Amino acid sequence: MTTTHSVNSIAVRGLRKTYGDKVVLDGLDLTIAAGEVFALLGPNGSGKTTTVNILSTLLPADAGTVEVGGHDLEDDADGIRSVIGVTGQFAALDDLLTGRENLRLMADLRHLGRTAGGAGVDDLLAQFGLTDAADKPVSTYSGGMKRRLDLAMTLVSTPDVIFLDEPTTGLDPRSRRDLWETIAGLAHSGVTILLTTQYLEEADQLADRIAVLDAGRIVAEGTAGDLKKLVHGAAVRLVFTDDTDFDRAAATFPDAVAHAAGRRVDVPTDNTVRTLREALSRIESENLELADVSIHTPTLDDVFFALTGHRPASEGPGTEAADQPVAVDQTTTHSEGVPR
C-alpha cells in the first residue's frame, strides 16, 4: 500500500444525482491523492455504483464538479476515459473466448499493436496467475479467476486510475483473499484505486483511507484507525445472568456503557491485565453472577453501525460483529476521521 501521496488524482465537489424524487447522491465531496487506495464503503443502494459510473463518464451528474487524473469531466470526458480502467461488479468478459483471447481483444479495442498488446497479454496472464488457464474458454473459469481476468483487462492499457466496483462481491472467502492480494500488489505499483465495497474487512485490508457512504452522503472519512477512534475504545464486556445483577453491575461501574437488552455492561479498559483483574475482583466482591466475560475491541463494523444505525453486508471470515450499538465518541479531536 502506498502511503506518500502528493498530487490529487480524483477531486469531486458537490456531486448530486437524483432519479425523479429519489436523491441518490446528495452533495458528495471526495479528494483522492495519486497512488492512494481509497475505499467507498456503503450498504446496498447507498450510491457507490452511481458514483463510479459518474466518475468513469458512464452516467451524467445533475450537479457538482469532477476531476480525474487532471481532466475535468465536463470539458474533457475523453481525457478521463484515456487514463482510467474500470472493473464492475459483473465481469465484462466473453465467456466463449479464452482468457488470452479476451485480453487480446481488449488490446485491439485499445488500439495497442499486436506485438505490444501480445507481450502485455502474456505478462498480465502471469501476473494474475492465469497462465495455465490462458487457452481455456472463460466459461470454464471459477468466479475468482473471472474477477482476476477482469482486473487484468483493465490493465491492458496501463491506466493511472482504476475504479473497482465491489470487486469481490459474490466470491467465496478464499477467492476474496486471493483477489485482495492481487489488488494490494496493484496498489504497490503506484496506480490510484477507488474501490467500492460493502465489506468493512475489505476496506480495512486494502485502503489507505475510507469514506463511509450512507444514503448518498459521506458520513465519515479517514484511515481505518481514525474511524475506529470514532467509537468507544476497548472494553471488558460483562454479561450477567439476571436483571438484578445487571442493574447492580451498572451501578458498580459508573463509567461503563450498559446495554439492558443483552444484560451487558462494557467497562472501558486500556487493554491491560490490571484493568481486567480490577473489573473481575469488583464483580467478586459484589457477589455478582457472570454469564460471560470477554474483551471487546472496536471494529469498523462498530463504526459503521454507530454512524449509520444499521449493519453492513455480512462479512468475510474473521470479522467480529458487535450485537449492540456502540456510542460514537463525538469528543474525538483527531484531524481526520471526523463524522461529517
Ligand X SMILES: Nc1ncnc2c1ncn2[C@@H]1O[C@H](COP(=O)(O)OP(=O)(O)OP(=O)(O)O)[C@@H](O)[C@H]1O
Contact present, 152 and 103 (Cβ < 8 Å): yes
Q: Between 187 and 216, how does the x/- string for binding to ligand X read (CB under 6 A)?
A: -----------x------------------
Count of alpha carbons within 13 Å of 237, Cβ hemisphere only?
16
Residues 6+ apart with CB under 8 A from 259: 265, 266, 324, 325
Q: Taking CB under 6 A as the rule, does residue 42 contact ligand X? A: yes
Dihedral angle, C-alpha 221, 222, 225, 230, nearest 10 °: -40
Q: Between 2 and 41, how does the x/- string for binding to ligand X read (CB under 6 A)?
A: -----------------x--x-x-----------------
For 37, 121, 127, 236, the CA distances from 185, given in Å and listed in that order, are 11, 18, 10, 38
Q: Which lies closer to ligand X via its Cβ, residue 98 or residue 198?
A: 198
Q: Can you tell me which of 30, 36, 41, 46 binds ligand X, judged by CB under 6 A?
A: 46
Q: Which lies closer to ligand X via its Cβ, residue 182 or residue 198?
A: 198
Q: Which stretch binds ligand X (CB under 6 A): 46-54, 110-118, 131-139, 143-151?
A: 46-54
- Please state the closest distance from residue 196 (CB atom) to ligand X, in A: 6
Q: Can you tell me which of 49, 56, 192, 205 binds ligand X, judged by CB under 6 A?
A: 49
Contact present, 154 and 92 (Cβ < 8 Å): no
- Please state the closest distance from residue 164 (CB atom) to ligand X, in A: 12
Burial code (b: 16+ CB inside 10 Å, e: under 16) for 151-160 equals: bbbbbbbebb
Contact present, 192 and 32 (Cβ < 8 Å): yes
Q: Which lies closer to ligand X via its Cβ, residue 207 or residue 238?
A: 207
Q: Between 165 and 184, how does the x/- string for binding to ligand X read (CB under 6 A)?
A: --------------------
| Helix%, strand%, coil% for the chain, nearest 5 | 35, 25, 40
- Please state the closest distance from residue 5 (CB atom) to ligand X, in A: 25
Q: How many residues does the chain have?
A: 340
Residues that bind ligand X (CB under 6 A): 19, 22, 24, 42, 44-50, 198
